[in-house]
Structure 1
């Protein structure tokens, strides 16, 4: 899988800081933006940038009366922009519809011999993510990267020779890479992946 691009650019960072970077500073800023973007993606479970993915999921049963479908799959990457193709156990089907990030199969014979041994496997090719990246996500990435630039040791306070310094580290761990603050994590909550998704593989 190709590496995902940073969620903010060096030009974005330079603009909010109101400064120009030297070539060495540009390289540092680019790397920190990559790390901050990785932290945001880890916190949300989302790629965020627009992309097309093929994933295989386990179909879950649905109440045909309540949900008016035979089975469903929750597509983990949001928002779902387009679904290009759907196949069940290798057989292409058009018997589906989309409701947000839910893929609903109109009908399925659960008593098939294959389904008796394991749940049906649904392969979906779909386009997802944002273009452009939302400003609040860009802001979190820029804040985290800038924090690492101005305070690379992530020091807040500790007592050394009468002077107090403290290190901004996660609970029970050491500061590695770029960290997100609790405020930033809260700002990202609405982008977090929905629970209950069962993904088998992607390509």
Structure 2
């Protein structure tokens, strides 16, 4: 799988902070942006950046009245820009249509016993994601990276005179990398995709 690019650049953060980074600082900032981008992608379960991928998903039975088709799969990455190829159990198919994140397959003979418990596997090559990255996602990445830049120990509160220091990570004070705040998670919720539990194979 190809390495995904960061969702914001060093230049973006330099512009936001109205400052210039030294070469050493640029390396640090880049690492923080990579970590913040990973945190955002982990929370949303989305690549976010525009890409073309192949997913192999398990077909589920559709409601014949509601969907008027034999089966359906939900593509996990959004938004779906274009579907380039579909194959069912290794056989190319053009007998399908798209409805948002769902791919509906018009006709397919489901196996009878003893293979009845093995639903068809649908391989889909499709283009998805945003170009450019939405501004509020970029803002979350920049904010999270900058928070780690100015407060690498992730200290939430600190008092003088022998009082204990309070950290974002309780008990140990061990930093786990870039963390998202609750406010940032609320911003990102609208970009969250369906769970990837049904996805079995993925390639770029």
Q: If the TM-score is normalised by the length of the shorter chain, which range does it land in?
A: over 0.9
Matched, 1:177 2:177: yes
CA distance in structure 2 between the aligned counterparts of 1:59 and 1:117, rounded to whole angstroms: 12
Name the counterpart of 1:85. 85
Query: Which residue in the other structure is 2:103 paired with?
Result: 103
Cα distance change of structure 1 residues 102 and 162 upon mapping to structure 2, 3 Å threshold: same
Tell me if the contact between 2:77 and 2:128 (Cα under 8 Å) persists in the aligned partners: yes
In the other structure, the counterpart of 2:9 is 9
Residue 155 of structure 2 aligns with which residue? 155
| Contact 2:76–2:193, Cα closer than 8 Å, also in 1 | yes
Report if the CA contact (8 A) 1:158-1:166 is conserved: yes
- CA RMSD in angstroms comes to 2.1
Aligned length: 203
Describe the superposition over 1:148-192 as per-residue Cα deviations: whole angstroms up to 9, x where unpaired. 110000102245634453211279994311111111011100111
Aligned with 1:116: secondary structure? Answer: coil
Q: Structure 2: how far apart are the matches of 1:48 and 1:66?
A: 30
Match of 2:57 in 1: 57
Q: 1:131 to 1:159 in 2, by over 3 A?
A: same
Q: Decide whether aligned partners of structure 1 residues 117 and 167 sit closer, same or farther in structure 2, where only a CA change above 3 A counts.
A: closer
Q: 1:106 to 1:172 in 2, by over 3 A?
A: farther
- Alignment of 1:22 onto 2:16: no
SS in 2 for 1:188: helix
TM-score if structure 1 supplies the norm length?
0.93
Q: Does structure 2 conserve the Cα–Cα contact (< 8 Å) formed by 1:73 and 1:197? A: no
Query: How many Å apart are 1:45 and its aligned residue?
Result: 0.3
Distance between the aligned counterparts of 1:184 and 1:170, measured in 2?
A: 20
The 1-side partners of 2:99 and 2:122 are apart by: 16
SS at match of 2:124: strand
Name which of structure 1's ranges 95-104 and 107-116 shifts more when overlaid on structure 2. Answer: 107-116
Find the aligned partners of 1:114 and 1:38 in 2 and give their Cα distance: 43
- Counterpart CA distance in 1 for 2:74 and 2:41 is 19
What runs of 5+ residues in structure 1 fail to find an aligned partner? Answer: none
Deviations 1:101-141 (A, max 9, x none): 10000111124678525100000000110000000000000
C-alpha contact (below 8 Å) 1:75/1:197 kept by paired residues:
no
TM-score with structure 2 setting the length: 0.92
